[in-house]
Structure 1
Amino acid sequence: MIPSYETIDGSSHNVETISSSVFDKLTDELLIETLIRLPLKPANICKCISVRFRSLISSSNFVRCYLNHHQINESFALYYDLDGKRKIRPSSVGMCMAFESPIFESPGFSLSFLQETIQYLASNNGLVLCCADLCPPVVYFVCNPLTKQWITLPPPPTDVKSSYIGFTCNPQYSCNDNQEQRMTTSFKVVRIQVALRDTLSLEIFCSESGKWTNENYMLSSTSVNEFFYRCNFGYPCSAVVCGGLLHWDNLSKTEIFTYDPYRGICGSIKYPPGITESSSDYCLGESGGRLRYADYSKSSKTYRVWQLKDCSNDGGEWFLLHKVNILGMKSTVQTAYNDLISLLPPHPLDQDIVFFWCLCSLRILEYNMRTKLLKLPCFPQDAKVKYLMIPVVFPFVLPCWPTTVPIIQQHGES
């Protein structure tokens, strides 16, 4: 529907008419100089004015000029399980967000346009994958909480919730027949099921085809008993996305399982040296485009962080990035170090920052590996968890420019 307005004499005019009578007299350069001065959300809403506006605002040149003018950087937030119920009402998602940038404040960042109770499963490049928290059939949604765009995926091949899931989004610019550059988005959802004793079954949804497909990965005889070693209850285990690959650290007790969703290649990465089953706490994450693995031994009170030099299906070499005795941390908060803090994913943008959860205060804490300082993060709202178990945490990185949600054709299973 084209927006309209009413003049003082009572006659009605739509914005398309304004566009053709006023804005068409401006060159693209002048129009861009005008539009880049708008705030982010109104600038995106202006795509509705006309075909010309949509094409101009979707171009890479406009995005580049807008970012340069506003000096916008990526922002991040942590979504956490607030009270251990493993599900959220979309209207209350703001209560479960810890963030630094005011752009996340309601109503700027919201899932209220989704009506059903949902589980937050994963996010990548500004889009979120969630699942309706209802009995079968399984219903997945992909949405942008900032622009309120969303789509429902067709039903997966098997009507059960997978314990292992991955989500990767690939926004990019492409040229049409008129050599105009536009942002396009594609994404893939990967579910892991066990079909047979020696077979790993992957169900993959591709937004470009609108279909689910199946791929089977044969396990070697030595690795059959190694897989699905670490049980998972409640939330599905979401893959860490790094270098275009999906990584699960809870499928095996010896390796990190990897999958390249665009080449269809499975692989594995050995755990860092010295990792044993005696590690009481561990966490896989991504920071600054690098894969990281951290563990905390309560027996030795030692916290260690490794970083992978080369993230690929062929594995890579780990190096020890940080090691500290937990009692040697400087702290501005009252904690009982011995057994009352747990590892959370690292800061996705600041490579010096990692997060802990403290059972004493039920709060998320920030630790700087460079200064060895443990403190409360500078979040506008208190990141307090109303639950006695380790919260499930999902880092969410908001790109400099909103990622579009692609339109998919509901083809169903291939």
Structure 2
Amino acid sequence: MFNLDDLPDFVLVEILCRLPREYAVQCTCVSKRWYSLVYDPYFVGRFLRQQNDNQKPIPHPRLIFTNPEHRREFFTNPKCTSKFFSMSKQPPAPEKLKFSLRCLPCFQGPVKTEEGEPMVVGTYNDLVLCCATTCFQRDYYICNAYTKQWEALPSPPECHEEVGVGFICDPYYKECKEDADQRKEETSTSKASFQLNTEYRYRVVRIIPESRGGSVHFKAEIFSSETGKWTETIVLCPRSFYLDVRHEGVAYNGMLYWMSSSSGSVIGLDPYSNDIVDKKYNCRFIDNPEDDQVPVTATFDLLSVCRVGGGGERLRMCQFSGNNEDGVMDWLSVWELKDDQVDNDSNWILVRRISLNGMFSQNPVIRKWRDQGCWHDEIMLLAFDPNDDDILYVDFIGHVVMFDINGGGWIMRYLNTPLDYGTIHNHRRRAVFPFVIPWWPTPVTTRQKQSFEVYR
């Protein structure tokens, strides 16, 4: 009787690397041999090469929406459609959602009500950083929500009521094109190769505000995946900066950025930098956009990375502004960072300016919502669509909509939010995180052996 286990490794690799990703990952649960085989760098390289040869498209990035009314609940919209699925509950149709956070201990045990519910605090590609509590954060987990692999981080040096958290990671692999001369000679057979980064690094950064006002220095705690330890340091800022811990750190171009919602200024920290003197970091300071209209009132509501044509990324900031002293905002401006890190030269370029009144006139449903309440206190910008830099997700009095900023604020789609999504109260931020599933999932390197759960 034929048995696959009788096949030599190289033959088994050639069979398994032709399976779809979800089935190839499930093969790790067949036996120890198959587990070792599938997670061997040679197999991963062959799998990636096979995907490239077959011109298999990379899955569309999606977004993870948090719910401040029920912080244990997180929702995602597959392929950025209008339908949501819960990441922390068993979905009604399991085949519709093949990743979740239910494997983490903090989503299985009781909620410590005095410290709040577990929450997502950061993502990078397909890795998710979670914390067991909302306040007094102490227990962090790195998780791949697709493979269910996870790692518990050691507790940070101190426990604070509120911190600003950022998460950044090296890519697990990158595509290496053959040099141009060889491609010209072998255009019909030229293929891409892939370089694996099996010892990829990641950092978790916690910034602790010194005071309620602005400050020129902050305490920071940085976790290094190489050492498995936290280090305490001081972040020095060239100008006074008010850190709003409601805004999560944004990873862009190898750095983590935080925004001040009151001034629109941004600080950037390179967590991989070795340029440390007496346990002190010098952070980068980027001034707020210079608006030639000089608004009477202005607030900054979103710092986000968006994907532009050609596969590149840009750092964008959104601003509400008004020309009256009554505090009512009339305009939504979208700014994009023109960056030159070599000369430390950067400035903000205006991408779009949208009239909010014009947006209301185009969308009767939005106008109806506005007339029902104080809209300027209950409108929140969430994220740019990871597949279309002209689409902006907006929470409008508990309703999530997709606006086309290139079309003057025309609504592209209304999202079917969960019944318990709730409305905005006390200016609590609804954090939204990008989630990218690459051709091959990023393995979570653990310092201790953990169980591996497959999709059901």
TM-score by length of 2: 0.70
Q: What residue is the counterpart of 1:372 in the other structure?
A: 408
* Matching residue of 1:405: 444
**SS where residue 298 of structure 2 aligns?**
coil
2:77 is the counterpart of 1:98: yes
Change in Cα spacing, 1:394 to 1:46, as seen in structure 2 (3 Å) is same
The 1-side partners of 2:289 and 2:5 are apart by: 62
CA contact (8 A) 2:4 2:12 kept: no
Q: Which residue of 2 aligns with 1:79?
A: 65
How far apart are 1:169 and its partner, in Å? 1.5
Structure 2 gaps of 5+ residues are 107-116, 175-193, 275-281, 308-312, 323-327, 450-456
Q: CA RMSD in A?
A: 3.5
The superposition leaves residues 70-114 of structure 1 with CA deviations (integer Å, 9 ceiling, x where unpaired) of: 32333212312252x4x31xxx43xx3334369967441211112
One-letter code aligned to 1:404: P
Q: Percent identity at matched positions? A: 25
Residues 409 and 263 (structure 1 numbering): CA distance in 2 closer, same or farther, change over 3 Å?
Answer: farther
Q: Distance in 2 between matches of 1:66 and 1:104?
A: 27
Structure 2 distance, partners of 1:20, 1:393, is: 47
Matches within 5 A, 1:135-214: 138-173=138-173, 182-184=196-198, 185-194=200-209, 199-214=217-232
Listed one character per residue, the Cα deviations across residues 289-335 of structure 1 (whole Å, up to 9, x for unaligned) are 10101112254511110101216382512111001212223337333
Give how far 1:22 is off.
2.6
Secondary structure, aligned partner of 2:170: strand
Unaligned runs of 5+ in 1: 1-6, 8-16, 175-179
Alignment of 1:1-400 (within 5 A): 18-24=3-9, 26=11, 30-31=14-15, 35-38=17-20, 40-48=21-29, 49-55=34-40, 58-66=43-51, 69=54, 70-81=56-67, 83=69, 85=70, 87-88=71-72, 92-93=73-74, 96-100=75-79, 106=91, 107=94, 108-116=98-106, 117-133=117-133, 138-173=138-173, 182-184=196-198, 185-194=200-209, 199-220=217-238, 223=239, 226-228=240-242, 232=245, 236-250=246-260, 253=263, 255-263=265-273, 266-274=283-291, 278-280=297-299, 282-288=301-307, 289-298=313-322, 299=328, 301-310=330-339, 312=341, 314-329=344-359, 330-331=362-363, 333-335=365-367, 336=369, 339=376, 341-359=379-397, 362-375=398-411, 377=413, 385-389=421-425, 391-400=429-438
Q: CA deviation at 1:397?
A: 2.1
CA contact (8 A) 1:367 1:375 kept: yes
How far apart, in 1, do the equivalents of 2:220 and 2:416 lie?
41
Secondary structure of 1:351 counterpart: strand
> Does the Cα contact within 8 Å between 1:78 and 1:394 map onto a contact in 2?
yes
The residue aligned with 2:190 is none
Distance in 1 of aligned mates of 2:149 and 2:103: 9
Could you list the per-position Cα deviations for residues 236-268 of structure 1 after superposition, in whole angstroms to 9, with x for gaps in the alignment?
A: 531111111111013883621110111255211
Give the Cα separation in 1 of the matches to 2:271 and 2:432. 21
Q: Which amino acid aligns with 1:113?
A: C
C-alpha separation between the residues in 2 aligned to 1:317 and 1:272?
7
Counterparts in 2 of 1:237 and 1:328: CA distance versus 1, 3 Å: closer
C-alpha distance in 2 between matches for 1:52 and 1:409: 20
1:61–1:246 CA distance, 2 compared to 1 (3 A): same
> Helix, strand or coil: the match of 1:261?
coil
What is the alpha-carbon distance in structure 2 between the residues aligned to residue 260 and residue 68 of structure 1? 36
In the other structure, the counterpart of 1:12 is none
